[in-house]
Amino acid sequence: MIPIAPPENSRLEHKTASMQRIRIAITERNFTDLQAEDAWAWRLTGWLFGVLPDGHSLRRLLGLEYTRHKMQKAVLETAFAELRQCWNASDMRYYAFKGGVFQHAYPDRLMRSHGDIDLYVPPESLPEAVSRLPAGWAFVPAPPDSKSHNAGTLLNGQGRKIADIHRSLMPLGSMNARRSKALHAALEAHSMELAVDGAPSIPAFDWTGQVLAGLVINRGWCGDHWRLKASDYLDLQVLLESGRVTMDGLRRRAAVLGLRHSLEAFLSICDPARQRLVLEHTVRSRLLARLLLDRAAMRDGYFPRYYLGKAVGLLRDLVLFAPILLDVLGSLRRHSNPHDVVRGLKRRRGMHWDELRYLSAARWSTALVRKARITQAGACVIRSLAVLAALRNDGRRATWVQGFRKTPTDGGLPGHAWVEVEGRILDGHDDPNVHAHFTVSLRIEADPEPGSADSR
């Protein structure tokens, strides 16, 4: 087994310990074959997970963590193999990256968990990719956003999320179009085929390209915005210790691709050679770190006009959104009953924004309010109420929902609040599958603005 020497960081130590326990529990059975006799174990495991609290000794004695992890992995990999069989039969281009590929660098793939598969599909190949899905599968386009690098999500016949489709490795317009095209072409030129237990091979960027695309670009230039995970450190460490990647090779390729400053910025907060991993900062150091890291990205060609445009647009949205946020804070101050809080939200003219813009403005506004400690209300409560008020003012029917976590966890949110529109969850925190973790305790439907199409 590859030795793992984590730095002084409790989250990484917990992640490492979990990986070691899973590794010890691995048997000789091939987890990619979901045997019929395992079905009872899967059902029993799911039931026990809902009954036994987190940390219960029976979870460890019965090996529930391992059984659940193994079963989820089997479903995901079986579905992905079915997808590859359809796609590999044509000449269309697609490349896997991030966790779905990094797992193949470990002594056993069960050591690396990941919730779905990330696939880069060039825009010209996307129509063919959607037309060649397995029977019963569905492609769910991402909400309309001309700058987003996400094209949509793939669901299998059971409605389970299998893959995220990326039409670009970075936000559109963030880099000069000619440079962006050259960067993607250079990564595609250094590709490999991963053979998996006799299943259809996986087209992927080579290992050095995986680090640059899946860690440096994706973590630094996209929505994560330099917020790292413990698995980033472990992935890079395993690749370096197995000899698949070298620091010299990384720096040479980064220089060729014009990512030298971004790579050095990433290594300044995640470097296994120095046992360095920065997951969280204080408020002041976080701001300083983002300025330094963003400066490195701009030196590598992050389009300044696009970057400045985003900053100006966000500032404009915060100013326009401020009256709604003030209404929410006032209603929370005047009322304690949730129904009264919702009824106390003022009626204003709608701004007619899309949902993503409302969520973004609400998220950033709430962050500023929480940093200033203006109210004791939870961030999710303020954010969801603000989005609810904005949608209602726009004439859209929305529902405010509160829930409690099904299984208590150390450090996790004991409760949560979110907004639903026509059965879809609009959630501002990093958990798209809210109902899997929270039991609904309260639902309040807010009527749209009188005179709108929905109110008639």
**Measured between alpha carbons, how far is 371 from 87 in angstroms, rounded to an integer?**
48
- The predicted structure's pLDDT at residue 304: 66
CA distances from 391 to 333, 384, 401, 426 (A): 22, 11, 15, 11
**Measured between alpha carbons, how far is 279 from 9 in angstroms, rounded to an integer?**
9
Decide if 174 contacts 222 (C-beta within 8 A): no
Helix, strand and coil percent figures for the chain, each rounded to 5: 50, 15, 35
- The predicted structure's pLDDT at residue 252: 95
- Whether residue 406 is predicted with pLDDT greater than 90 in this model: the reply is no
Q: How confident is the model at residue 178 (pLDDT cuts 50, 70, 90)?
A: confident
| Among the listed residues 261, 210, 199, the one whose alpha carbon sits nearest the alpha carbon of residue 238 | 210
- In the chain, the percentage of residues whose pLDDT exceeds 90 is 25
- Whether residue 334 is predicted with pLDDT greater than 80 in this model: the reply is yes
- In the chain, the percentage of residues whose pLDDT exceeds 70 is 71
- Whether residue 62 is predicted with pLDDT greater than 70 in this model: the reply is no
- Whether residue 1 is predicted with pLDDT greater than 90 in this model: the reply is no
Cα-Cα-Cα-Cα torsion 236, 242, 247, 253, nearest 10 degrees, comes to -90
Cα-Cα-Cα-Cα torsion 65, 67, 72, 75, nearest 10 degrees, comes to 170
Helix axes 247-257, 260-269, angle to 10 degrees: 140
What is the rounded average pLDDT of the residues 18-25?
Answer: 46
**Measured between alpha carbons, how far is 165 from 139 in angstroms, rounded to an integer?**
9
Q: Which position has the higher pLDDT, 325 or 40? A: 325
Please give the mean pLDDT across all residues of the chain.
Answer: 78
Q: How many helices (H) and strands (E) does the chain have?
A: 17, 13
pLDDT tens digits, residue range 322-332?
999 999 999 98
- The predicted structure's pLDDT at residue 196: 83
Q: How confident is the model at residue 171 (pLDDT cuts 50, 70, 90)?
A: confident
For the CA atoms of the chain, what is the radius of gyration?
23
- The predicted structure's pLDDT at residue 198: 75
**Measured between alpha carbons, how far is 139 from 154 in angstroms, rounded to an integer?**
5
Q: How confident is the model at residue 3 (pLDDT cuts 50, 70, 90)?
A: very low
**Measured between alpha carbons, how far is 356 from 364 in angstroms, rounded to an integer?**
12
pLDDT tens digits, residue range 342-365?
888 888 888 888 887 888 888 888
Decide if 388 contacts 446 (C-beta within 8 A): yes
pLDDT tens digits, residue range 106-163?
887 877 877 789 999 999 999 999 999 999 999 988 876 656 788 899 998 888 889 9
Environment class of 55 (CB within 10 Å of its CB; exposed 0-12, middle 13-18, buried 19+): exposed
- The predicted structure's pLDDT at residue 24: 41
- The predicted structure's pLDDT at residue 12: 55
What is the rounded average pLDDT of the residues 375-391?
Answer: 85
The structural domains of the chain, with segments of one domain joined by +, span: 10-302, 316-427+434-446
Q: Which position has the higher pLDDT, 170 or 207? A: 207
- The predicted structure's pLDDT at residue 170: 84
pLDDT tens digits, residue range 74-86?
888 889 999 999 9
- The predicted structure's pLDDT at residue 268: 85
Cα-Cα-Cα-Cα torsion 67, 70, 75, 80, nearest 10 degrees, comes to 170
